[in-house]
Structure 1
């Protein structure tokens, strides 16, 4: 590649972060990032257009997804490469750990778990300041510069989760174009940390968010191969777990595993992003209206139960690990009875996942770790995973995955969705990617399903079962105003958040991702812009 033809501009360091900024964006790191982005620029653009095209197929022709008729699907002989020793047993990860929250990140590094979802996606707000802090905290953990973190082999595995393809990094431009967020996260992490992680058998390992099919898995696999060659680390060192949190990817699990077979760490379930994606792709059709999620949508409902079964049996048939979802409930600090109630709910739900055959899952609250470790010891004390168990094979059809649960909309469910969506936007404007509400951690996944349902209910004039009232923009606006008045918010951001919320749930065409809508919005960009100058171009 002719570097003289490449032109990169990077926003200056946020105040107080110059040292971290200089390390992360050294001249050599800029060269690597530029080369990475330019190598895959055209294929990333093709990914974006393919997504638009697939969505159009349903809107224009009512074409629903089908299982692919590929030779990989019908060939029972192929397997993914075995994972390295440290990944054999990953029964419990901590989820939604934004590395920009240094205190929480350090707490996770010292937790009694196998892995940490180091999250630049659902639980993270990608302001420029947060990106610098988060990437540098990963750097410090890997380079053993944190106090109390003396050896990578003595801390949980860093399961690095870059932003998904829908996120753009507005602070870095290469050859006149803003860069895809996942390539920035992946590129900077790999350039600074991959050799250390590889030499210690501790990575680099990744979660891949919001993948929408096998072609996108192939793109990631090719990125892995190119990066390993470029950084001179052994082929197959990178391992990645794909989150099946998009309805289209559910129909291509076999092919996704095949495309990543030398770099695969299996598949993961994510209930709320997955449910929201059904509305995103098919929400114009009244046949796909989802009822109140708190009352009528859970992992025991047919379409979600079959989805998890398909993830598990697909993975295990190919020698790959299957990962369940994240427990979002928080153990209260006081009231012993409430503590026991939360623990009982989480243990019961996770016990069902273990019995279904998962090899691991996540919790957010570190206070849940002892009881979950005890649960795993009860069912799987002598095995690092459940790959050796007989496969619980069940024939699962397209209809199984696309049959929506019965039920209605409740008044409380509508209000809860409104509150979660508004609070998520409010916290994003304040630079926070997740927050605590009514005893649970809320992130972009719950914000997605909340605003998606409200958009869908307004569009299809859904009826509330409590009082037979129709869900309208006016009703949602009134409930929004009532909520803001009742909480006595001190920050003016809440009124901006409310306006953005009403905008996104009443748009004529459904915005695919709430995070894209916010990340690209002038209000958010203006709020988190440190200044408007750029570095001298690096030629």
Structure 2
């Protein structure tokens, strides 16, 4: 349908949803139009700056700390402050904004639920609108769910976790909402709808409108967000700094500008987060033309590798120096039914969380409620009676240099690793283009970052002539041969009925075209989104 609200307002493109009348109100759309008029063109300029910076790196210039902002890194300043209900974030659970997931996550033994409109949500139009309605209902304590097959009922507990909404990255559009004939930035839509419908209720409850911001690449992008927050706070007569945000440091360029990102957002920011899976993908993508930075199998690129350890430690030191929280990364494991396998899962989760806690992180992520107790026990052991670990300054550390953050990673590219990449990526992409962005695959809860690393790793091996552990040279022909073989494995594992009823041919073709292309595409979700929304914008 098309619903024009005037030349300077919003056109709704696509089918009306049951929740549309409650979520896509005239007042909410007016706010979106205002934000689009103020910030849409600047977003385009920021994306162009990304392209220009990448071209310089492709030509041989390595990322480094910015000389023009040295005064910020050397200055004596702090962020504005952290609300009481965000002081203790020792365990956070993440997941998409589907109704049952929202209830289960808010009920989990965690401090925070990060409700995700980004990497764990395939942003089909119905999912976006329903997701906003689900969060609105949860905040008002009016959410329940009855499973259509089992009849099992789900209700919110008396003391749910603190809610933080993660919006989409700046690179993504929302093709179902147009302003002046063009799609609106998805992040603007997610932010405006969540803020508009919920900020007043949240403030009345003693909490506030809290957000996670993904995939920042520079302090100029942080400034864009800071200006948007300031505009919104003034527009609604709120105290400056009412909106609170945590930024994920999950791109290689951003790790060199963490002080500057905190400074630009100092009125609103409360912390930074190690988005480590996307960070590994960004390392590959950013350094794609540098043959001495080729990564091995992603399964061995763990947080104890020098370049990732430096990233974690610098984030902690930077945050704590500025009075901000330093959040750790994701444990993507899901519980296993077999007792021996379950014990192995819990052992891995415990080791991962102990490393984060020892480093000084103020919290960590899990993808499944069944892992919350294990993560919580580790954090409790290290935190003691403190709500966080901001007392750990890491001031005794040697300075972390650009060379530390860019250090090549030892390890081998293997046939087993390459085949696993193919099987996992194809299954994830198939689910994503079918509308599901949070997918259990081989014992892990996968989101878009996994597929991004998988296809970028193979692309990098092809480009730079990497040999596998069996001596084979990675070429386009070898990749395509393995793709056909691993598709047969997936068909056997899932069964002919599931395979034939799915969209595996489309997924395999998208994976093939991206991985064998001469240039590495920025995000697979961009062409994936075209497939996902093909019918609703026709």
TM-score, normalising length: structure 1: 0.93
1:36-435 to 2 correspondence within 5 Å?
36-60=35-59, 62-69=60-67, 70-95=69-94, 97-99=95-97, 101-147=98-144, 148-149=155-156, 154-295=159-300, 297-332=301-336, 334-392=337-395, 393-435=397-439
Q: Could you give the per-residue CA deviations for residues 43-99 of structure 1, whole angstroms, max 9, x where no partner exists?
A: 111111111111111223x1111112325434442001120100011101002x100
Cα distance in 1 for residues equivalent to 2:180 and 2:32? 12
CA contact (8 A) 1:198 1:233 kept: no
CA contact (8 A) 2:349 2:374 kept: no
- Pair 1:414–1:531, CA change in 2 (3 A): closer
Find the counterpart in structure 2 of residue 485 from structure 1.
Answer: 488
Aligned length: 515
Cα distance in 2 for residues equivalent to 1:59 and 1:80? 35
Aligned alpha-carbon RMSD (Å): 1.6
Helix, strand or coil at the partner of 2:501: coil
Cα distance in 1 for residues equivalent to 2:484 and 2:157? 51
Cα distance in 2 for residues equivalent to 1:495 and 1:71? 51
Q: Tell me whether 1:29 sits opposite 2:34 in the alignment.
A: no
Cα distance in 1 for residues equivalent to 2:524 and 2:368? 25
CA contact (8 A) 1:205 1:238 kept: yes
CA contact (8 A) 2:217 2:251 kept: yes
Q: Could you give the per-residue CA deviations for residues 475-519 of structure 1, whole angstroms, max 9, x where no partner exists?
A: 111211112223322225101111111000011111111112211
Q: Could you give the per-residue CA deviations for residues 295-352 of structure 1, whole angstroms, max 9, x where no partner exists?
A: 3x110000000000000000001110000001001111x2222211111110111011
159-168 or 270-279: bigger deviation: 270-279
How much has 1:4 moved relative to structure 2? 6.0
CA contact (8 A) 2:353 2:379 kept: no
- Pair 1:280–1:74, CA change in 2 (3 A): closer
CA contact (8 A) 2:136 2:198 kept: yes
Find the counterpart in structure 2 of residue 6 from structure 1.
Answer: 8
Find the counterpart in structure 2 of residue 451 from structure 1.
Answer: 455
CA contact (8 A) 1:13 1:21 kept: no
CA contact (8 A) 2:331 2:349 kept: yes
Cα distance in 2 for residues equivalent to 1:276 and 1:501? 15
CA contact (8 A) 1:119 1:162 kept: yes
Cα distance in 2 for residues equivalent to 1:266 and 1:394? 23
Q: Structure 1 stretches of 5 or more lacking a match?
A: 533-539
Cα distance in 1 for residues equivalent to 2:111 and 2:130? 24
Q: Structure 2 stretches of 5 or more lacking a match?
A: 145-154, 492-498
Find the counterpart in structure 2 of residue 517 from structure 1.
Answer: 527
Find the counterpart in structure 2 of residue 537 from structure 1.
Answer: none
CA contact (8 A) 1:84 1:201 kept: no
Cα distance in 1 for residues equivalent to 2:398 and 2:247? 22
Cα distance in 2 for residues equivalent to 1:391 and 1:301? 19
Cα distance in 1 for residues equivalent to 2:157 and 2:428? 36
Cα distance in 2 for residues equivalent to 1:245 and 1:375? 24
CA contact (8 A) 2:73 2:260 kept: no
Cα distance in 2 for residues equivalent to 1:190 and 1:353? 32
- Pair 1:192–1:72, CA change in 2 (3 A): farther
Helix, strand or coil at the partner of 1:343: helix
TM-score, normalising length: structure 2: 0.93
